[in-house]
Structure 1
Amino acid sequence: MDEADWLAARFEEQRPHLRAVAYRMLGSQAEADDAVQNSWLRLSGADTADVDNLAGWLTTVVARECLKMLRTRRSRREEPIGDTTAEPSAGDHDVNDPEAEALLADSVGPALMVVLDNLAPAERIAFVLHDIFAVPFDEIAAILERSPAATRQLASRARRRVQGATPPRQVDITRQRQVVQAFLTALREGDFDGLLAVLDPDVLLRDGSAELTPGAAGLLRGARAVGAHALAFSRAARFVQPALVNGAVGLAIVPRGRLIGALGLTFRHDKIVVIEMIADPERLRHVGLAAVGP
């Protein structure tokens, strides 16, 4: 094995941890994947001969990428799109690895992700790295370009805000199942009004596999536009079944029992507010899918 292959293998060993770190910071799996990919680009072009702790080095690189993303998002007054009810896929982790399982503990679930979105970027980085991943303040300070004392204060302030916040109720899987079944029934019957009944007026459809409208970069917004687009696939709806997609009720596309795609859904007030179409085989491989009961 040459050095490049060895480095790639070491990176793949760290990928689940890095995705978990990035997801906690960003609250978006798509952005987390981007941050992790950027860390690989940095690693592949870096001289790591003097790096004693590759895991720590990669965590630092990912944290800096996340900090840039959070600051850009805040300057544009944007929110992460639709991933706050989804956990990183357990399929990315060795189920016999206690550390990997700890990264996905219920205490750091969807409710906390919503609270974290209210923190300033530096507060979020300090809190996530120290309180969730036990990174020393000295290392976090270097990432944030602040003193260890100032970094400790950031984490303390974030901790008080998190502890003082009233987290929203946990997702109601049963109610989600009802909304998804209504969506699927309307889709199969070609019922446009039925689709509108379960779609939020400002619903966002993200589709990385197709150009929906010129310049839209795979985005559609608005219940009528999304509903009309969905109806174009009504004949294929017989191959679609409800499933848990990354912890929330969504839809799996399984013609002849073969998984070829999934729809990740985000809910608010019993309406679908985000639909993420996942068809890329590589992304699909990392999606957590499970059966959902009636």
Structure 2
Amino acid sequence: MNERRDATTGTAEPMAGGGRIDPATDAFIAHRNLLFTVAYEMLGSAADAEDVLQETWLRWVRVDREQVRDPRAYLVRITTRRSLDRLRTIRRLKEDYVGPWLPEPLLTAPDVAEDVELAESVSMALMLVLETLSPTERVVFVLREVFSISHEEIAAAVGKSSAAVRQIAHRARRHVEARRPREMVSPSQTRVALESLQRALETRDLQGLLDVLAPQVVLVSDGGGVKQAAPRPITGADKVARMIVSGIGKAQVALTGEPTVVNGNPALLLRVDGEIDGVIAVRVEDDRITGLYYVRNPQKLTRIASETPLTLR
């Protein structure tokens, strides 16, 4: 018995009779991980990215593929259009979201962490910066700066002229550069900072937290109205450290941290009394944590049990 693959999930299924997967399915499966990465970087949500892939597949199977010279480019174009439509809808929904909104964390394989360009592009810190762009700016930035797609291809995908796309790309790049981390730190530097954070959290060590947090650290916590979280970002090492230590103490729980890799970068999986409570991703500069991103919303923790494949190619 042979195998076929479900085009939208990429999972293998038995196929009897020696049948062959059709070319449309072959092409979609070959580029599925790329399409998911494109959609996720544009949307910051795995669930929405999966919906976009489903829509892309339904559109793809109706295409006259004899007229398609480059299946990869065509599929990326469909995914981009569907993502842009959904991004505009999500933007409106986020206005009613309870508390700060953080991207959905993904457990990723070691090869993602080894790809510096990919790891930076899906890092929680950069994904948050992308949230400050308009939908069109975000799509153009992701396609141009992350996936190196030509201005002409982007123009065809977003329905604008090449000249307009160049202007949007320049504006988006300038916006992102002004807000992204000043320098990239190595995974080992991030792990060292996370180890210090983990020890301080588990022992409720106020001074330990103050030592690892930068003076102007920003804590963003996302409970989605389901789990308790700060209603707005908290700035300042003293405020952040005291709030954390006080919160753990008042709850009278056993808090433990487990090193993991989320969005291609070192992170901590936190458990309260043995149950998963959330994921902490960090932004590190000059060996100290300048950004703490704590995702507690259970609806955003469905992708931390198994690895999600990502790729730029």
Q: TM-score, normalised by structure 1?
A: 0.59
Higher relative contact order (CA 8 A, sep 6+): 2
In structure 2, the residue matched to 1:176 is: 190
In structure 1, the residue matched to 2:14 is: none
Distance 1:282 1:250 in 2: 14
Instruction: Report Cα offsets for 1:167-222 as digits up to 9, x if no partner.
Output: 711125455344323332233323456546656665122357x9324xx6x97854
8 Å CA contact 1:89–1:287 kept in 2: the answer is: yes
Identity of aligned residues (%): 23
Q: CA RMSD in A?
A: 5.3
In structure 2, the residue matched to 1:212 is: 227
8 Å CA contact 2:201–2:209 kept in 1: the answer is: yes
SS in 1 for 2:185: coil
Distance 2:88 2:195 in 1: 35
In structure 2, the residue matched to 1:48 is: 61
Distance 2:180 2:232 in 1: 32
In structure 2, the residue matched to 1:284 is: 305
Q: How does 1:1-294 map to 2 (within 5 A)?
A: 5=6, 9=10, 10=25, 13-25=30-42, 31-43=44-56, 46=59, 48-52=61-65, 55-68=72-85, 69=87, 89-90=108-109, 105-107=115-117, 110=120, 114=126, 117=130, 121-130=135-144, 132-135=146-149, 137-155=151-169, 168-171=182-185, 173=187, 175-191=189-205, 194-195=208-209, 198=212, 202-207=218-223, 211-213=226-228, 222=234, 223=240, 224-231=242-249, 232=251, 235-237=254-256, 240-252=257-269, 263-267=279-283, 270-271=288-289, 272-277=291-296, 280=301, 282-286=303-307
Compared CA separation, residues 159 and 181, structure 1 to 2 (3 A): closer
Question: Structure 1 or 2: larger helix share?
Answer: 1
Deviation at 1:13, TM superposition (A): 4.7
Compared CA separation, residues 82 and 175, structure 1 to 2 (3 A): farther
SS in 1 for 2:295: strand
Distance 2:189 2:252 in 1: 25
Q: For residue 249 of structure 1, what is the amino acid of its counterpart?
A: P
Deviation at 1:251, TM superposition (A): 2.2
Deviation at 1:22, TM superposition (A): 3.2
Q: For residue 50 of structure 2, what is the amino acid of its counterpart?
A: Q
Compared CA separation, residues 8 and 49, structure 1 to 2 (3 A): farther
Distance 1:197 1:260 in 2: 26
For structure 1, the 5+ residue unaligned runs are 96-100, 289-294
Compared CA separation, residues 135 and 184, structure 1 to 2 (3 A): closer
Q: TM-score, normalised by structure 2?
A: 0.56
In structure 2, the residue matched to 1:291 is: none
SS in 2 for 1:182: helix
Distance 1:19 1:63 in 2: 11
Distance 1:226 1:156 in 2: 40
